[in-house]
Amino acid sequence: MKAVVYTKYGPPSVLTLVDIKKPQPKDDEILVKVCATTVTSGDVRLRSSDFPAGVWLLARLMFGLFKPKKTILGHEFSGIVEAVGKDVVKYKVGDEVFGTPTGLKTGTYTEYLCIPQDRKKGALSHKPKNLSLKEAAAIPVGGMTALFLLNKGNLSAGQNVLVYGASGSVGSYAVQIAKAKGATVVAVCSGANSAMVESFGADKTIDYHQEDYTLLNDKFDLVFDAVGKTSKSAAKKVLKPNGQFVTIATMTSPTQEHLDALKELAEQGKLTPYIDQSFPLAEIVAAHEYVDTGRKKGNVSIDVCD
């Protein structure tokens, strides 16, 4: 089978399409034919080893000091169950599934994955019925991160929420989830992306090139930093006395419950992934080069199978 591997850190050109042995499911595992995956910010950081100075050494110790420990990237996927182990009861051949490879020895830049039906780490579920496989593959990482942080910020109906960096993957989900929960959402993004962000349900958009959100007269119950480019001290200027600040520049630990909640929102028509561009697996280098430009909107999809 085909897979994309990297054996050293560096630019997108370190990614190579190769042939590797197709895995076989254990008794408690399903074999998934991967149909779609994505290029997330996590993939880019791991590929380039571009970690913040304060955590660079720790990250290298975790993921590989001199070369990557896990040679196949990819943090989310969708696909079709091709085979099941004898103890599997939750899935059957032909089921469409989506999830994350957290805890596995491989990422999702590959044509096949073996995944335990019960996850100690990571999440796995049947695909939302109303989404395509490509759309479903783009939900887990950005969606679960957004939901985890919104829950951490005690999001509730009737609140005023500001999402900083609303046009990216996490930001686009944060806007939609906050609206689904009954909040009023002000979204900060570039003017070029305002229409897209408004389509997510934002009540108001602010072009950060033209206006400093910290000078707003409005006060917010929650400020959500979806890109790691603002700070708690800046957000305090527009937060209510008991307002909360959350940022992706912290550790998150989403669970199966988060994926299940996102699936429900998607099937209710309240959560739709935005796919900026799609690339075939064979053009994974070009996909990473595009994400490296910093112009990605929403999600960049990788088509693994037809």
Domain contains 252? no
> Which residues does residue 78 pair with via DSSP β-bridges, in sequence order?
36, 98
On the question of pLDDT at 224 being above 80, the answer is yes
Q: Sign (positive/negative) of CA torsion 163, 296, 68, 27?
A: positive
Which whole-number Å values give the CA distances from 301 to 28, 190, 219, 276, 291, in the listed order? 29, 22, 36, 8, 11
Q: Is 99 in the same domain as 195?
A: no
CATH number of the domain encompassing residue 63: 3.90.180.10
Q: Is 211 in the same domain as 278?
A: no
Q: Is 148 in the same domain as 182?
A: yes
Half-sphere exposure of residue 227: CA atoms within 13 angstroms, side-chain side: 21
Q: Is 130 in the same domain as 151?
A: no
Domain contains 257? no
Give 213's pLDDT tier (boundaries 50, 70, 90): very high
Find out whether 226 and 246 touch, Cβ atoms under 8 Å: no
pTM for this entry:
0.95
The beta-strand segments (E) located in 41-126 are: 77-84, 96-99, 112-116, 124-126
Residue 173: CB atoms within 10 Å: 32
Q: Is 181 in the same domain as 71?
A: no
User: CA-to-CA distance for 245 and 22, rounded, in angstroms?
Assistant: 45
Q: Among 232, 247, 262, give the residue marking a domain's end.
A: 247
Residue 122 token pair: 């990571």
Q: Which of 225, 181, 226, 178 is nearest to 204 (CA)?
A: 178
Place of tokens 């089921």: 95
Q: Is 176 in the same domain as 131?
A: no
pLDDT at residue number 112: 98
Q: Is 74 in the same domain as 169?
A: no
pLDDT at residue number 55: 67
DSSP state of 246: E
- pLDDT tens digits, 13-63: 999 999 999 999 999 999 999 999 999 999 999 999 877 666 666 767 777
Domain contains 24? yes
Provide the residue range defining the domain that includes 233.
141-247
Domain count within the chain: 2
Which whole-number Å values give the CA distances from 126 to 112, 283, 294, in the listed order? 17, 28, 32
